A = this chain, B = another copy of it.
Amino acid sequence: MPLRLATTQVDFAARFDAFLLTKRETAADVETAVKAILADVEARGDDALIEYSRRFDRIDLGEIGIRVPQAEIDAAQNAVDPETLKALELARDRIQAYHQRQLPKDDRWRDDIGVELGYRWTAVEAAGLYVPGGTAAYPSSVLMNAVPAKVAGVPRLVVTVPAPGGVLNPLVLAAAKLAGVDEVHRVGGAQAIAALAYGTQTIRPVAKIVGPGNAYVACAKRLVFGRVGIDMIAGPSEVLIIADRDGNPDWIAADLLAQAEHDVSAQSILITDDAALADAVEAAVERQLGTLSRAGVAAASWRDFGAIITVRDLEEALPLADRIAAEHLEIATQDAEALAARIRNAGAIFLGHHTPEAIGDYVAGSNHVLPTARSARFSSGLGVLDFMKRTSLLRCDAGALKALGPAAIALGTAEGLDAHARSVAIRLNLDRA
C-alpha cells in the first residue's frame, strides 16, 4: 500500500512535512575504506589498480591490461543487435542536437568609460565518466553523460567501468564508441575515482568526474572533490505525476512503475484532484505489478515510498509540487502548459498524456541525469555547462583606470587593504608610499 494523503486531512501539513523528510537511503559508512584506497592508488598507481581489481572484480589487469583496446570496443559494437544499435544511434543524435543548443555564448564589450569587459567559456581539459558494472550498466546513461562532454568540446573523455569476472557489457562499449569516448579502462570502485583524480601510469588525471556509482564511488567522489570537479551525487530516482480526471489510470500506473522498477529506494508519487482516478491508478498498479520482471523491486519501492495525494483542486497541487521538487514531473492534465508555467522546482517536466518519462530517459534528446532528493530546488540536470567553465576578462587602458581608480582606492582603503589601494594609486601617480 502506498501512503495516502489528502489536503482535506486536518493534520495534512504535518503529514506532508514528515513525508518530505523521509529518508530513502541509509548512507553506508565506507569512508575509512575509501580513504585507504584513494591513498594507495595515489601512491602506487597502476599496481594498486591491479591489486584491487584482482580482489574486487576477480580479474588480472596485469595480464589483460587496464585499458580496453580499440579492437575489443569495435568487436563489442558488432555484437550488439542491429535494432538496439539503431536505437542507440538515434538517441545519440538527438542528445547531441539538444545539447548543442545549450552551448553558451562568449561576451565581450566596452562600456561608456572605456573599460573592456567580458567572459569566455572553455571546456575542461579532460573529463572522466564512471560507469557502474553489473545490471546497472546502462548504455543510455553512457550516452547521457558522454555526449554533452563532447558537445562542450572536452578534448579527452575517459570512461572507467568495472569488469567483474572479466565481463564488460557490450552495450556500454558500443555506447561509449558512439558517443566519441577517447579511452575506456576496465576498473571500477573507489580505485577508479582515485585513478581519474590523481592519475596513474596508464590513466592520466582528469579535471572533472561525472557518473553514477555505488556508496564507495559516491564517497570517493566526495573526497576527491576540490582536487577535481564532480557532478551531483545522484540519489534514487523519483517521479511526481499531477493528473486530473482526464488521466488514463493504466498509463499513469505504468509511469509510476517505470520509476519504481529502478530501485527499492525509488519514489513514485501521484497528486490528483480526482479521488476516483486515485483509486483506479492504485488498482492498475497492482494489476501491472505482477507482470514485471523486476516486480519485487517495483513492489517494494511502491509499498515503502509510493504516495497518492488527493487535493481539492489543482491549484493546491502547485505548492506541493514545488516542495517535492521532483526529479521528473509529469503533468497529465487538460491544461498542462499553464500548470507547468507556474512550477518553480522540477528537474524535468513532461507535458501532456503522450509524454511518458521513459521517452526522456532514452530518445527525446534532453538529459536523463537530473537532480534527485529535492535538489531541483537549487540544481539542474546535467548539461553542456557541466563540462565548461567561464573565465572573466577585464582590460582597462590608462583613461579607464583613471575614471574607475578613485572608487577602487576608496573601497580598498575602507577595507583596510593598503596594497589593494596602492596597486591602483601607483598607476595613477597618486601613490605616496
Contacts and interface: CB of A to CB of B under 8 A. Distances in A.
A358 B423 contact: yes
Given A87-B411, A348-B391, A354-B401, A261 B359 contact: no
Interface in A252-275: 254-255, 257-258, 260-262
A333 to B, nearest CB: 13
A419 interface: yes
Given A91-B407, A124-B377, A411-B88, A424 B358 contact: yes
A311 to B, nearest CB: 20
Contact of A404 (B359, B405, B406, B431): B359
A408 B361 contact: yes
Contacts of A83: 410
Contacts of A431: 254
A407 B101 contact: no
A201 to B, nearest CB: 15
Nearest to A121: B380
Contacts of A367: 392
Given A139-B415, A260-B419, A366-B392, A229 B380 contact: no
Contacts of A86: 407, 410
Contacts of A97: 111
Interface string A28-48: 000000000000000000000
A207 B261 contact: no
A414 interface: yes
Nearest to A428: B354
A408 B357 CA distance: 10
A346 interface: yes
Nearest to A115: B364
Nearest to A122: B344
A7 interface: no
Contacts of A233: 226
A171 to B, nearest CB: 6
A405 B359 CA distance: 7
12 contacts: A87-B410, A90-B407, A229-B377, A254-B426, A288-B433, A298-B419, A352-B396, A354-B401, A358-B420, A359-B404, A362-B411, A381-B390
